[in-house]
Every structure is written in C-alpha cells, then in structure tokens.
Structure 1
Amino acid sequence: MAEQDQARMARSADALSSSGDGIDALSPSGDGPSLAELVAPLSVAEFLAQHWNRSFRAWPGRAGRFSALIDWDDINHILSAQRLEPPQLILVRGGKNVPVERFTHVSGSNRRIDAGATTAQLAQGATLVLSFVDEMVKRIGDLADRLGGDLGARCNVNLYAGWRADHGFDLHWDHHDVFILQIAGRKHWRVQRPTRDHPARGEIVPPPAADDAPVYDDILEEGGVLYIPRGWWHVATPVEEPSLHLTLAITPPTGQDYLRWLVGKAAAEAVFRADWPVAGGDAATAAYWGELGAAMQRLHAAHPPEAFLAEQQASRVARPLFTLPDFAAGTMARLSPDSRLRLAGARALARVHDAVSGDEGLDIGGRIFACSAAVGSVLGRLSSERDTRFAVLTEGLGDAVRRELEQLLIRLVATGAIFVDPGLDQSKA
C-alpha cells in the first residue's frame, strides 16, 4: 500500500500544479476539497445565496482533481477485503437492483461477493453502488464531516462505478441535496426542475412533463462538480468507458424536524397529555384550545432554534476513531497534569441549555451529562485530532471548577466519550 500512497500523493501534486481558473484540486493538506474549493469561482456566500436549496449548478473540472480521494486500487481493495452485502453494496441496471444471488455466493450462513460474477454483471452494463463509502475510506469521511460542518447538515457519501451505457437508476429525485464529484472517466447527466418544492421523503411527486426541457443535458468530465438541490429530477448514464463518481448526500434539518422535536418536548406539560374534551361540546373544546394555544407559545419560547440545532448536532453518531495502542493501556485511577485527553468521536461535544430549568449540560449520544457552563466551555476545546494535556485544559480554573471538570471527565472516560492516557508523555501537549 505504500507504493499506492506514493502514487496517490504524486497524482494529487500533479492535479494541484495544473489547477487554475478558480478550480482547485485538493486542499493543501491533502485531506480533500473544502466547500470553498468546490464552489469556486463563486464565494461560499454567493453559493449559499444563489444556489443552496434553490437551484442547480455545474462546474467544469480537470483530470486528476479528485484522484487523491479514492481510485480504482482502493475500490479493488474494499471489494476484496470487506464483507459487503446489500444494501451497502448493490448492483443496479436499468432502474432495478440486480438480484443479490447473481453476484454473491453462499457457504453455510456466510455470503461473500463473487468476483467473477460481479465483474460479469458490470461488463453487461450494471452500475456498482457502494453506500456509505465515507465509513470505509477515512479521506472521504473527513470530507463528509468537513462539508457537513460547513453546511450545518448530515453528510454521507455513496460511490457509483459504471462501464457501459446503461443507466443505473431511472430518472428520479432525492430527498436531500447532493454534490456530485466526478472522480474518474466521464458520465452523461440530465437534470430537470422539480415538480414540487422541497419534497419530503416518501412523498409521491408527479414526474416532469414530456416536453419539459432539462436545465442540464451534458457530459460531466473528470474533475467536474454538480450541485443538485433536493427534489430536482436527474438521471446519470455511463458513456461506454470506466466512470467513477461520488455522491455527497447532504441533509439539513427541516421545519418538520423542528416540529417533531417539539412534540417530544411537549410531553413534559400536562395540557399536551390531556384528552381532548370532545364529549364536553363546543365550549369545552374552545376552552381547551385556548389552553393549548398558550401552552404552544410557552413551548416554542422555551425551546428556541439554537437549542434545537444543538440537539440535532449532538444526535449525529460520531465516527469511530482509534489511536491504538495509545489510551487503551492506561488506567484511570486519577488525572494528573500530564494526562493526555482526546475525544473518541469526530466532532466536538455539544453543549445544551434547558430554557425552562436553566440547566446546562453536554449531550453525548442522547444522554445528558449535567455540568456548569464553565466546564462545558472547557470540554468544548477537546478535539479528536490532537491530544490535550489536563494541565493545559485546567489553566486558569478555580478549584471548584477544576474538581467538577475532573469528576465529569472520569464519567466521560468510563462511557467511552473521551480517551485518556495518564502517562508522562508531554510530546503531544
């Protein structure tokens, strides 16, 4: 793999040196394009104002622009080394899934992908789909987290590989916004306007009229980017050559999500749990409606947008990160100034504030750990990318806050939210 990594770095460097006209290859760090690089020459502000959740946009590309993210060697390794089954791995042809028994073989209770049968299906026109490839390739996972953070949304990534001229999925719309990154080869795309604004998952939406003119009907070259908002119709077709692209599915919270969240909060107030007094007639209903309206106003005021967005962020499952053999060898008798701390997940701890009780805390996987605002602020400085010494974390804290911090850290370590190594290695402070 070392030779493959060197080749990938060389391709990335070549792509960087050849990029221009507002089209960058990868970030200087080599960890994938940023949102600003994807939408250039537009600024991020221009993209958000003109296109985000609104309208389609296409950007031309340069060969090799995204080659450092993933290549055919990576895909061969994934298919060979990981035990993949539907829905994580599917083959699609002419809008229908290829039956799984046609490209896998079963031995007892074990099912494995059949390399020969799979290759034959691809040669006959099937498209290979790897769902959640961001969970298989760290570079792509980092890209998804960065883009999701920039846009305040969940982001996952699927991979599509095709060889012939048969489309995989029929003309369709997605219930999320997408960025398309053409990694290798070319693909023909047709994009048409939505027939319903912001459709939700599961809705039945009429297809475009037969005479509806597409807004895009062209070949996307290697290194090109498409942005397709939720609800816009599209279909992609290979062009008789190996083609590989990533679909970055971006799902921001919606107004419906907020209402569902409020319903969960409503259970704390008796008026929402009470029966509707239908048997009491119009007068009883009118009185109850008045009480309900007042309770709705209190509920809305007590749970503002920032609380909703904080809980949405906290509810996202963090990517698992390991730093073995570090941390696992440590014991947790007590924290010392040289103890090294690191988040076990790939995003910061989310602070929550209950507007009714005034309580502060941290939401970790749906579990609330009460703490003062001062301790929550300190823990917000922890990262999954670097170690932080306990002495650095506690600089300037009073004795009471320090004791609270230490006690909460011990609880968070026990739950697996934070890694700690009590050793004396200060090289990573």
Structure 2
Amino acid sequence: MAPLEVSQFLSSVQGQAHHRFPGTAGRFASLLPWSTLSTVLRQHRLDFPRLRLAMDGDVVPTHSYTEMVTPKRGGPIPRLLSAPLGQHLRNGATLVLDSVQELVDPIGELSASLEHSLRERVQVNMYAGWGKTHGFDVHWDDHDAFILQVSGRKRWRIHGTTRPAPLYRDVEPPPQPPAEPIADFMLEDGDALYVPRGCWHDVSAVGEESLHITIGFNPATGIDLVSWLADQLRTNEAFRRDLPRFGTAADRSARSAQLRDGILELLTPDVVDRFLMDRDAQAPALPRLGLPWVATSDLLPPGDDVEVRLLTPRAVLNQGEATVTLLAAGSRFVFASAAGPVLSALVASPVATVGSLVSVAAPSLDRGTVRALLGELITQGLLAVG
C-alpha cells in the first residue's frame, strides 16, 4: 500500500472506500507464475466449486470440462479434460481457484503474514482469464479484499456502497447501485487494489491474459461480539434453563430481569478487548508438518541455522509474575517466565532460526532448554521446521 502508511490505511481507508495502489510490472510475478498454476492443475484433485469456470455471470457446467474417474479404491474423483477446458478459456471463460494459499507456498507465506498483521483469517482466491467477457455481474462481497494483479491487466468498475457495512446474513439486501460507476480503470500488472465489504463492482477481461489473486478477510463486527457473548453466557444457569413460557407474567418479567443482569455483567468497558483477544486465541493453527523431523524423537535438526515457524499467526502471550501463558489454537499453555523471551520473539515474528531464539533466551535458558521448549511447541502442533 505504499506510499500510503499502514496507519493511514487502517484509519481512513479500510472499511470505508476502495483504494488503488499503483505498482511496477512483475511486482507479484513470483507469487503465482503461469507454470506453477499449470502444475497445481495437473497435480491436485480439485473438486467443484473450489475449481470452477465462470462466464458472463454464470458458472460453466463442470461436466463440460471434467470427467469422473473411479480408482481401484475409493469413490469417483474429478479429472480435468485439457481440450475442452482450453476451449472454454479461449471462448472467454474465467478460471477460478479458491484457497490457493493451501496449494502455492509463496501465497501461503503471504497469507500467514497478513493474518499476523490483520489479526483475521485470510483466504486467497485466484482468477485467470484471456477473453473479453466478464466472469461475474455487478456484485458486492461480504468481506474486505486486496486484489493483486499478478499478470496482464483487467478492467475494474467500482459502483460504490449502497448499504453501510452489509452482512452475509442481514435484515435486508443492499439497494442496487447506480448504473454508472464512480470509478472505471485498468488494474495493471503489479497494481494492488483494496475493495471494502459491500462495495459494488464488476470486472472484465480485455482480450489478453490476466491473472490476479484476491486476498479476502472479515474484520470482526459487533454481531460477532454478540455471538461470542452468547457462548460466554452458557456458563450462567439462568441462560441454560427453559424460559417460563407457561408461567405467570411475573415469572417472565423476573426472568427477563435476570437475563438482562447477566448480559450487563459481561458488558464491561473492556468487553471489546476481551472478545478480540479470545478471537485471536481461538484462531486455528496453519496446517504444516516439518518432515521428517516431526516424526522423530529429535523433533528438530541439530543446527542453530534451522528455521522454525509459529503456526498460529494470531497467538496471544500473557506475561505473569512467575509464568507466561500462550493462548493459541483454542488452548492455553503455561510456561515458566524464563520462556517469555523465546515465545515473545515467535509471537512478534513467527519465522526465526533456532540460533536467534537461543540468543534472545540467554542467559536465562541454555541451548538445550530452548530446543526442548521448541520441541514441546512442535508436539502441540504450534511450531514446524522450515
């Protein structure tokens, strides 16, 4: 987002308006080269709707470019048919692949880094096209998105927001936007674009190759906080009991007062902070195995130049008087306070070398103890080699 400062983006752009960030050609090329995309399509079993084709606002029937193959063991699996798939693409269809961060390492690294910075779950989808048609009609998304133009260019038309902060499950849909866009531009190779939730837009190919990725994330809302409060209230017996449907009016009034008091008891001035911390602590660990070491008793290679990474980008660390508590992947891990420097380094920057962690732990912990601590994190699924 340079030259815009991150603080400027968070305060004046995010959730408010679209913003284009011009870049240089080739800036994002290493994220997903065409050769890598071809390899992904060849080596993975990609079911609909994760892999799909879209054209003129409609989904292309999957049977027109895939066939079901039954292996010796197991049920039918889809297999792409190169000739009809290529024909659809030449006719102007857009190739869509969801959750590409699970398939391509550079995008996975970017996704993990952004989850660490944005403190929200991130999903990356890919769109590739060659024709002059549009894949989708004018629409809005229920998530914020960064669009990175990896190759080629595409035409974007932004129609603005007609309902502030709309939700996927809402009481009413946003009104249709004006026919004329408020912005009409080409997103060129190396450009980035931010589009907030609820902003109407449509995208068109321009008769040349285009590949972009969309990085979607859902900032926490007040509705999310209320849902979280409902779960917290399960500890209160009054909320677990049946409502006095067949009681007297006085019974129902008394229960209403009891429920109101229970809710107000949780609505402390720090309720937003408590909710956000718990949301981070519950975020799942990224799926990653450091083979072959995770399958051995050593857990780690012997050298200090070995790179390890924390698999919970949004882990929360609380320092006590004699202990330090790591809240991650829905669990609570308590360590002696001497482990604090190592855990702080990992939470601040999830990728580090064993040697750098040994250095920050000295003189409180020796090398063997640091490695034992890292090994424990590996066994808990919170850390991986490489």
In the superposition, the TM-score normalised over structure 2's length comes to: 0.83
Residue 382 of structure 2 is aligned to residue 417 of structure 1: yes
Name which of 25, 45, 59 aligns with 2:7: 45
C-alpha RMSD of the superposition: 3.5
Structure 2 match to 1:13:
none
Q: Give the number of equivalent residue pairs.
A: 373
1:113-124 mapped onto 2 (5 Å cutoff): 113-124=80-91
The offset of 1:325, in angstroms, is 3.5
Change (3 A) 1:233 1:140: same
Q: Which residue of 2 aligns with 1:205?
A: 173
Change (3 A) 1:274 1:393: farther
* 8 Å contact kept, 1:362–1:376: no
Give the match for residue 385 of structure 1: 351
* SS of residue paired to 1:48: helix
Which residue of structure 1 lines up, in the alignment, with residue 54 of structure 2? 92
CA distance 1:60–1:377, shift in 2 (3 Å)? closer
2-side partners of 1:352 and 1:266: how far apart?
24
Q: Mind listing any 5+ residue stretches in structure 2 that lack a counterpart?
A: 71-75
Give the structure, 1 or 2, with the largest relative contact order (CA under 8 Å, sep 6 or more): 2
Deviation sequence 1:61-111 (CA, Å, 0-9, x none): 332222122221121121122222222211111212111111112222232
Distance 2:58 2:384 in 1: 45
- The aligned counterpart of 1:75 is 37
SS of corresponding position for 1:386: strand
SS of 1:76's equivalent in the other structure is helix
Q: Is the 8 A contact 2:153 2:186 kept in 1?
A: yes
Give 3-state SS (helix, strand or coil) of 1:63's partner.
coil
Please tell me the residue identity of whatever aligns with 1:152: R
Question: Residue 307 of structure 2 contacts residue 351 of structure 2 at CA under 8 Å; is this kept in 1?
Answer: no
Shift of 1:293: 2.2
- Counterpart for residue 350 of structure 1: 316
Q: CA deviation at 1:243?
A: 0.9
| AA at the equivalent of 1:173 | W
Q: Distance in 1 between matches of 2:326 and 2:277?
A: 10
SS in 2 for 1:77: helix
**Separation of aligned partners in 2, 1:409 and 1:323:** 13
Show the counterpart of 1:366: 330
- Partners of 1:391 and 1:224 in 2: CA distance: 40
Amino acid at match of 2:54: V
Instruction: Give, in angstroms, the shift of residue 395 of structure 1.
Output: 4.0
Q: How many Å separate the matches in 2 of 1:262 and 1:313?
A: 15
- Residues of 2 paired with 1:294 and 1:371: CA distance? 37
Asked if 1 retains the 8 angstrom alpha-carbon contact of 2:54 and 2:93, the reply is yes
For 2:339 and 2:193, the matched residues in 1 are separated by 43
Q: Is the 8 A contact 1:278 1:284 kept in 2?
A: no
**Cα distance per residue 1:318-344 (max 9 Å; x no partner):** 323344334533348xxx9x9x89456
Distance change >3 Å, CA 172–CA 380, structure 1 → 2: same
1:139 to 106, 121, 143: 106
What code does the residue aligned with 2:382 have? Answer: A
Displacement after TM superposition at 1:236 (Å): 0.5
Question: For 1:223, which of 167, 182, 190 is the aligned residue?
Answer: 190
Alignment counterpart, residue 183 of structure 1, candidates 136, 146, 150: 150
- Whether 1:246 aligns to 2:213 is yes
| 1:404-425 Cα distance to aligned partner (Å, 9 max, x none) | x9998776544333459xxxxx
Which residue of the partner structure matches residue 26 of structure 1?
Answer: none
Paired letter, 1:226: L
Quick one: which amino acid aligns to residue 42 of structure 2?
A: S
Partners of 2:173 and 2:35 in 1: CA distance: 40
Question: CA offsets per residue over residues 357-397 of structure 1, 9 Å max, x none?
Answer: xx984334323345566656753434752343686576455
Change in CA separation of 1:194 and 1:251 when aligned onto 2, cut-off 3 Å: same
Q: Go from structure 1 to structure 2 and tell me whether the alpha carbon gap of 1:151 and 1:241 turns closer, same or farther (over 3 Å shift).
A: same
The aligned residue for residue 20 of structure 1 is none
Checking the alignment, whether the CA contact within 8 Å between 2:285 and 2:382 is kept in structure 1 is no
**5+ residue gaps, structure 1:** 1-38, 354-358, 421-427
Deviations 1:249-300 (Å, cap 9, x if unpaired)? 1211111111111111111111222333344433333332322222212223
Confirm or deny: 8 A CA contact 2:53 2:95 kept in the other structure: yes
Partners of 2:190 and 2:384 in 1: CA distance: 39
